[in-house]
Chains A and B, each alone.
Chain A
Amino acid sequence: MSTAATSELNPNVSKATASAAAQAAKANQPVTFGKALNTALADALTVDESVVIFGEDVGTLGGVFRITDGLTDRFGSERCFDTPLAESGIVGMAVGMAMNRMRPVIEMQFDAFAYPAFEQIASHVAKMRNRTQGRLPLPMVIRIPYAGGVGGVEHHCDSSEAYYAHTPGLKVFTPSSVADAYLMLREAIDSPDPVVFFEPKKLYWSKEAVDLAQLAQDYEARRTPGSEGKARIARAGSDATLITYGPSVSTALEAASLAAEEGLSLEVVDVRSIVPFDDETVGASVRKTGRAVVIAEAQGFASVASEIVARVQERCFHSLAAPVLRVTGMDIPYPAPTLEKFHLPSAERILDAVDQLQWEA
């Protein structure tokens, strides 16, 4: 289901942003993931005057990861501003602003620093529409830089998506490509529902040749297919399916390249939209290959990966040649920087799991 197909399109979008995006990127020049997010925010501020951005250090500094760089200068301190250092306050104030006809896009500085806001998110952001029988929708985006692989200290590397995915009323997106970073953030901001938008920290500096101006034009002309509820085939293959999302997509792609050298063809499915989940694309891939491994950085117990395994075996049991396996973070608190490599899924660990998919049978 794409946002463009829903009945509650963002009514505030009026102006076009092609010129803004054009300034940000020339055709097919390498663009970072972070710049794509920054451009998406700028374009949303341009086309929709109800969009406001706030959080900790997002104003003058431009965010600790510079995702809001230049926005206060360009759009003014009423559109992009710093708040007191209080996450529950940031989310709670955003709820009230969304109640009063604005579209807040707020930043939680790091995954684990979003926990003080959990009550506001679980009890209000997620439930207000339902509580009021649809009368009080809360269009808002909570951006959360998440996951590890960047040598971060404690509380800076959590993969906390399961808490939010478990909470009905929230949509949960996580892009893994530069184009998706732009398009999915635009889509999240235009969504009539609250979206928790997980940005893999290790991808902020990754580059791809992407024409952001063209993407902006296509998005605003509704020519791009929506990504909400749509998984993406990141690499086509025929022997087994690697199902993954966010920071683990690049690891899965690396594993697929290594496997190809051995003559094994692995398909990589990037879930992108954890909620709503695309059973169709995931199921079609597994039915085609007959084997699957689910990969995620988060601890595996009671995780999004567990949910995907359950859904795949419920829907694809008769197509499966082997049990669906998981390669996830260990069930331990996130380790200190020098030890994180032992915790995180690696290409080697993924290939070991692929080896166990009962190829002899």
Chain B
Amino acid sequence: MSTEDNSNRFSEVSRKFGITPEDYMLPARHMINLLNPDGSLRSDAEQGTEPGHEYPLPSPARLLEAYEALVVGRRVNDQNSALVRQGRMAVYPSSHGQEACQVAAALCLEDGDWLFPTYRDTVAVLTKGVAPMEVMTSFRGEWHCGYDPKAYNCAPMSTPLTTQLLHAVGVAHAAKLRGEQTVVVAMCGDGATSEGDFHEALNFAAVFKLPVIFFVQNNKYAISVPLAHQSAAPSLAHKAVGYGMAGERVDGNDLMALMAVMGRAVRLAREGSGPLLIEAHTYRMQAHTNADDDKRYREDSEVAEWVGKDPVIRMRAYLDDAGLLDEKVQGKITAHAEAVASTLRDGMNEEADTDPLQLFAHVYSEPTAQLREQRELLADELAREEA
């Protein structure tokens, strides 16, 4: 590292937008919000944009692609919750209500780019292209991660909070050292911003000027604890300026705004502007998991209020009004969603079939002598059971 003057680090990008480095790093005064809850387009004055924080509307084709993923995502969430209720799956942390965030996080990336999801980001992982039953391997209790992260450029869904943000930083750093143009989206929730690794990851990314987009889904609760108990910052996006990176707030139930904000963030990161922190305001409509009782910590009226801000209804209304969604297209999208749901149901009905002796296969590149002994012990037990 050279000892370059930090005050000059952002001069180039802020000059590009004709604003000061501080105004580039601080989030816009209002969160970016392009669509009203009824699907109508907000006026320029209402969109929250300002000089240097401008967000052109995504193309109709791009919006339709995102809407299809949104509909599939909602169907997947509801199908998986049903499978849990039927006792066919142990646990499922649903992102019902947050699907617009999920879709935008994955769709803003190009093929060579990496996604770092959490346990609640099933829909983002599916949107990144991972096969449905490979995503569900962990939730059906077969193995911890069922897909090949390198085949999809999608890290395992992280159960510990924010540890994966540092892995995202490492993937971006390795790519940068090799001169590759890889962008990485690293996902976490509002509660996770209290973790030490959140700080270390943002700081490392900023110091090494890496193309990482830290994407925080602020769904207002960390299980039961509300945001006010996590942070006294003006907003989570404001934390960016403390690290010397750009922050922005976006309506996390407005798919159009998310596509615009994440799309621009990816472009800036790929151009070498360094990392960004995007805070999406959304709401977890269901309990933390099926094991949680959300009536103990929030009012029904609060949940009801967010029903009116639903991302799927909002996007559909916009596309309908804009004449982009006829019955034929909607029918095709619904059929796609039903096909994925059917794949999940069929997959869950099949018996899990994992060889217990595989337990020793992947601890090291080769099992140690001790593991070979323990493998034999288990093999003997299994043979006796069969006899």
Please report A residues at the B interface, Cβ cutoff 8 Å. Answer: 1, 6-8, 52, 59, 77-78, 81-84, 86, 88-89, 91-102, 104, 116, 119-120, 123-124, 127-137, 168-169, 171, 191-193, 229, 275-277, 279-280
A135–B156 alpha-carbon span in the complex (Å): 11
Q: A92-B197, A94-B170, A96-B169 are in contact. Are A137 and B149 (CB under 8 A)?
A: no
Is B301 located at the chain interface by the 8 A CB criterion? no
Compute the total of residue contacts between A and B using a CB distance below 8 Å.
Answer: 150
Question: Within the assembled complex, what's the spacing in Å between the Cα atoms of A6 and B172?
Answer: 30
Asked if A92 contacts B203 (CB within 8 A), the reply is no
Give chain B interface residues in 194-231, CB to chain A under 8 Å. Answer: 196-197, 200-201, 203-204, 207
Whether B369 pairs with A1 at a CB distance below 8 angstroms is: yes
Q: A89-B204, A131-B156 are in contact. Are A95 and B144 (CB under 8 A)?
A: no
A-side contacts of B362, CB under 8 Å: 129-130, 132-134
The interface residues of chain B, by DSSP majority, are classed as: helix
Most-contacted residue by chain A among B174, B364, B368 (CB, 10 A):
B364
Complex: A171 Cα to B363 Cα, angstroms: 10
A98 close to B200 (CB less than 8 A): no
Q: Is the CB of B166 within 8 A of A101?
A: no
Known contacts A99-B155, A99-B170, A102-B174; is-contact A86 B204 (Cβ 8 Å): yes
Q: Is the CB of B145 within 8 A of A7?
A: no
| A124 to B167 CA separation, bound complex (whole angstroms) | 10
Given A8-B365, A131-B156, A132-B149, check contact A95 B200 (CB 8 Å): no
Within 8 A of A (CB), among B367-384: 368-370
Question: Cβ of B169: which chain A residues have Cβ within 8 Å of it?
Answer: 89, 92-93, 96
Q: Which of B142-173 contact A (CB under 8 A)?
A: 143-145, 148-151, 155-156, 160, 163, 165-173
Which residues 319-336 of B have a CB within 8 angstroms of A? none
Contact B160 A123, beta carbon cutoff 8 Å: yes
8 residue pairs, one from A and one from B, having the closest CB atoms: A96-B170, A92-B166, A89-B200, A100-B174, A276-B368, A96-B167, A192-B365, A93-B170
CA distance in complex: A102, B197 (Å): 22
Q: When the two chains form the complex, which single residue of A86, A96, A277 contacts B200, counting CB atoms closer than 8 Å? A: A86
Q: Do residues A96 and B369 form an inter-chain contact, with CB atoms below 8 A? A: no
CB distance from A1 to the nearest CB of B (A): 6
In the assembled complex, the Cα of A169 lies from the Cα of B150 at a distance in Å of: 20
Point out the residue from A8, A93, A168 that lies within 8 Å of B363, measured CB to CB.
A168
Are B369 and A97 within 8 A (Cβ)? no
Tell me the minimal C-beta distance from B134 to chain A in angstroms.
11
Q: Which residue of A lies closest to B196 (CB)?
A: A88
In the bound assembly, the distance between CA atoms of A169 and B364 in angstroms comes to: 6
- Which B positions have Cβ atoms within 8 angstroms of A? 1, 114, 143-145, 148-151, 155-156, 160, 163, 165-175, 177, 196-197, 200-201, 203-204, 207, 358, 361-366, 368-370
Which chain A positions have C-beta within 8 A of B155? 99
Which residues from B are CB-within-8-Å of A81?
1
Task: Give A52 to B175 CA distance when docked, in angstroms.
Answer: 13
Contact of B364 among A93, A129, A136 (CB under 8 A): A129
Give 29 pairs: A residue, B residue, CB < 8 Å, sorted on A: A1-B369, A6-B365, A59-B1, A77-B1, A81-B1, A84-B203, A84-B204, A86-B204, A88-B166, A92-B163, A93-B170, A96-B171, A97-B174, A102-B174, A120-B197, A123-B160, A123-B163, A131-B144, A131-B145, A132-B145, A132-B148, A136-B148, A136-B156, A168-B363, A192-B365, A276-B369, A276-B370, A279-B369, A279-B370
Query: Is the Cβ of A89 less than 8 Å from the Cβ of B163?
Result: no
Q: Which residue of chain A has the shortest Cβ distance to B169 in the bound complex?
A: A93
- C-alpha spacing A6/B177, complex, angstroms: 29
Residue of B155, B196, B207, B362 with most partner-chain A CB within 10 A: B362
Check if B204 sits within 8 Å of A83, measured CB to CB.
yes
Q: What is the bound-complex CA distance between A279 and B144, given in angstroms? A: 31
- Distance in Å: Cβ of A142 to nearest Cβ of chain B: 14
A119 touches B363 (CB 8 A): no
Contacts known (A86-B200, A129-B363, A137-B365); A100 close to B160, Cβ less than 8 A: no
Cα–Cα distance between A102 and B143 once the two chains are bound (Å)? 26
Q: In chain A, what residue has the closest Cβ to B368? A: A276
Given contacts A88-B196, A96-B167, A128-B156, 15 further A-B contacts (CB under 8 A): A1-B366, A59-B1, A86-B203, A92-B197, A93-B204, A96-B172, A97-B173, A99-B167, A101-B174, A116-B196, A119-B160, A124-B163, A135-B151, A277-B368, A277-B370
Residues on A with C-beta less than 8 A from B196 are 88, 116
A91 to B166, CA, bound (A): 8
Q: Is the CB of B145 within 8 A of A92?
A: no
Kindly state the separation between the CA atoms of A96 and B204 in the bound complex, as whole angstroms: 12
> A84-B203, A92-B166, A93-B166 are contacts. A1–B368 as well, Cβ < 8 Å?
yes
B149 touches A275 (CB 8 A): no
